[in-house]
Amino acid sequence: MALTEQEILAGLGKIINEITGISADEVTPEKSFVDDLDIDSLSMVEIAVAAQDEFGVEIPDDQLKNLKTVKDVISFIQA
Amino acid sequence: MSKDRVRVVVTGLGATTPLGGDVASTWSALLEGRSGIRTLTEDWVDTVPVKFAGVAAVDPGEVLPRPEARRLDRAEQFALIAARQAWQDAGAPEVDGDRLGVVVGSGIGGIGTILSAYDLYREKGWNRLSPFTVPMLMPNGSAGWISIELGAKAGAHATVSACATGAESIGYGIDMIRSGRADMVVAGGTEAAIHGLNVASFAAARAMSTRNDEPERASRPFDKGRDGFVLGEGAGIVVLESEEHALARGARIYAVAAGAGYTSDAYHITGLDPDGKGGTEAMLRALKNADLAPSDVVHVNAHATSTPLGDEIEARAIKDAIGDHAIVTATKSMTGHLLGGAGGIESIFTILALHERIVPAIANLDDPADGIEIDLVRGEPRKLEGDQLAAINNSFGFGGHNVAVAFTTV
């Protein structure tokens, strides 16, 4: 029962809004977490923890640092 | 007052308490004699013998944006809210960060975070913990966050002395300014300890009231029917400033933070030394530090937690240090005991009593205990007469810490 890209994007938008206050509408696939959304490394850890709960996918630290954009995270969760 | 010493004044007040989400609402509730104590509805209440507390009147989650609130322990949330209010109240001045300090402590620290993080760690593993778990549980977290908020770089400190914490923080802040380390210091205390484990632990020490059928009547300092303290939560924070700095920027001055006195009982880890000398000497040292005489003191905000032994010992200590002329109140009768936050809010009440020249009455004082020879405010608030007035806030803590802070009118 794989989630669609849209479903994952909506879930990520909710998580990122909860953690950073950034509007879920701003969270679009091409955005870079650091350059576009101004999210620091500790917030990325918070997002990864919340994503594990939401999507049931564990994101190891050595993978997390390679996830630069929202699209990267969506692809990781879908894979 | 020696001429070469810097005079420290109070230019801002901030609080969130069981009586209100700010200083004004808390103060008016005190003058009306309202109680901030209510029956608890949490599940854990069934497992403990005490089923009421002074819950913060305004939940910090209603005040802080969600992304900010989730990175802060509840005690830090209270502290940050109170610090922001105090800073606004002081006029939110543009100041040199290197000359601005913070002294904000907590009696217990982030106990709510420790307990919930431990549950999460046991149930789901280490990698589900928030990366902010450590700064949420550390007792200096509030001081750190406030320093970031205000750009305070003269030093951020967290004194820890149980229920004397808030008063000790203000004393430390006075010293920071007098010693030349800072022009302004944001100082006070915070606590968020209404949790089953804390209630159980204080109940195990036989320190808490179990008047479950009448929560609003349970905190009754100096009354014959008192049977223990009532737990409260919240924060009280003041802005201290050198008088020179305050005058130069045209700040409104509430009172002079004239001095502080400290002793340690070196007697028992939870009980006051029955001779009360620790409290007496703390008050005398505060007066000496402030260049005041006992006869100058018109008002005392007593520590008075409503425990059978503590209140009587303090009454004797006040009589021995000050005499019987000072008007004594015990505001824990309405707020409950905020532990590390107590000295913060009660210093604010002492400052406001001087500034407004009125002292709130002690609630639930129906039948004063025998042998108390101090002037307790009963029934209605009492006016303070005269031009040059001094007052003392007492705060005593487990560990044998006794702190008295002296304030005067400007």
The CATH number for A28's domain is: 1.10.1200.10
Determine the residue of chain B that is closest to A23 in CA distance: B67
**How many structural domains comprise chain A?**
1
**What is residue A1's predicted lDDT score, i.e. its pLDDT?**
59
> Which residues 22-41 of A are in CB contact (within 8 Å) with B?
none
Rounded Cα gap, residues B197 and B205, in angstroms: 12
- For chains A and B, count residue pairs whose Cβ atoms are closer than 8 Å: 25
pLDDT (tens digit per residue) in B343-391 = 999 999 999 999 999 999 999 999 999 999 999 999 999 999 999 999 9
What is the Cα gyration radius of chain A?
Answer: 11
Nearest to A28 by CA among A12, A44, A4: A12
Determine the residue of chain B that is closest to A20 in CA distance: B67
Please give the ipTM for the structure prediction.
0.82
CATH architecture of the region B8-408: 3-Layer(aba) Sandwich (3.40)
**Given A25, A40, A61, A72, the catalytic residue:** A40
Which residues of chain B does A19 touch, with a Cβ-Cβ cutoff of 8 Å? 67, 70
pLDDT (tens digit per residue) in B157-214 = 999 999 999 999 999 999 999 999 999 999 999 999 999 999 999 999 999 999 999 9
- CB proximity A53 to B under 8 Å: yes
**What is residue B403's predicted lDDT score, i.e. its pLDDT?**
98
Query: Binning pLDDT at 50, 70 and 90, where does residue A79 land?
Result: confident
- CB proximity B127 to A under 8 Å: yes
- Chain-chain contact of A49 with B128 (C-beta, under 8 angstroms): yes
Rounded Cα gap, residues B19 and B11, in angstroms: 22
- Chain-chain contact of B128 with A19 (C-beta, under 8 angstroms): no
Which residues of chain A does B66 touch, with a Cβ-Cβ cutoff of 8 Å? 18, 21
Domain with A53 in it: 5-78
Of all residues in chain B, what percent carry a pLDDT higher than 90? 97
Closest partner CB to A21 (pick from B67, B131, B132)? B67
